[in-house]
Structure 1
Amino acid sequence: MSGEQLMTGILTDRAPKPAGHYAQAVVSGGAHVFVSGQLPIRPDGRPLEDDGFEAQARQAIHNMLEIVRAAGSSPQQIVKVTAYIVGIANWARFNAVYASMLPDACPARSVVPVPELHYGYLVEIDAIAVREP
């Protein structure tokens, strides 16, 4: 390989700062972007004005998209998304928000119903994207 690092951490102020020992995303080999799980937390850390399911889904997806962009990729270059949602009854609601926010992207996707998430949130989303090396 050239002199490029094998892994580069990504940090943008357009998404919440990591609250633990992890990066918002890591670019591997210059071409693959691995976005850490994003909760519905505003970039400035303040609570959402509306904490309903749809608002939480929008914020979590927004955070993921901002990190993808900061890594030099785009929504159209996302290849895999995994969403963890509290309650299978929220599946259709998640799908509607997701489709509205990624209208031109259709990556592989898994939606995993879970009984609960950290801090009582209702959605967490991670992604894998590609970019030109």
Structure 2
Amino acid sequence: MPGTPIIPDGSPPPLAPYSPGMLAAGEALYISGTLALDTDGKLVGEGDATAQTRQVLEAIKSVIAAAGGTMADVTFNMIFLKDFADYPKMNAVYAEYFPSPCPARYCIRADLVKPEFLVEIASIAHISR
């Protein structure tokens, strides 16, 4: 395997065969598309894009911490929204986690794995060791 799986304590059970994160070459951390799930795999923030975004970013933060990094190590985010009407809500929470200088990113509208999910974010971080 070309990397080390990163699975933080308390991670929700995966909905498919994947690891929450993979640390490659000891510093590049690839974080799977992350949904608003609690430690039991239950949805957090039903119908609330603000709550779902916060849960997603906290889960991403835990993967990065388990790899020895911080949110400041994130270099790229891929954001998927079920509905662009939620863009301002997602962006407001996002700005709390990524103050300037912000990582590169893109945001697209997409059908997510289940209809109750409003936000999904995948990230890339570079952990300095």
Match of 1:103 among 71, 92, 99: 99
Counterpart among 54, 65, 73 of residue 61 in structure 2: 65
Once the two structures are TM-superposed, the CA of residue 6 in structure 1 deviates from its matched residue by 4.0
1:117 and 2:116 correspond: no
Q: Tell me the percent identity.
A: 29
Q: Which runs of 5+ in 2 are unaligned?
A: none
- What do you get for the CA RMSD once the two structures are aligned? 1.7
2:29, 2:126 within 8 Å by CA — same for their partners in 1? Answer: yes
CA distance in 1: counterparts of 2:64 and 2:14, whole angstroms:
15
Q: Please tell me the residue identity of whatever aligns with 2:106.
A: S
What is the alpha-carbon distance in structure 1 between the residues aligned to residue 100 and residue 37 of structure 2?
25
Separation in structure 1 between the aligned mates of residue 13 and residue 62 of structure 2, nearest angstrom: 12
Give CA deviations for 1:61-101 in whole Å, capped at 9, x if unaligned: 11111111111121111000111011112111111011123
Q: 1:127 aligns with which of 97, 101, 123?
A: 123
3-state DSSP of counterpart to 1:118? coil
Q: CA deviation at 1:15?
A: 3.1
User: Please, what TM-score do these two structures have when normalized by structure 1?
Assistant: 0.86
Of 23, 39, 43, 1:43 maps to: 39
| TM-score scaled by length of structure 2 | 0.88
> How many matched pairs?
127
| Higher gyration radius (CA) | 1
The 2-side partners of 1:16 and 1:43 are apart by 4
Tell me the secondary structure at the aligned position of residue 127 of structure 1.
strand
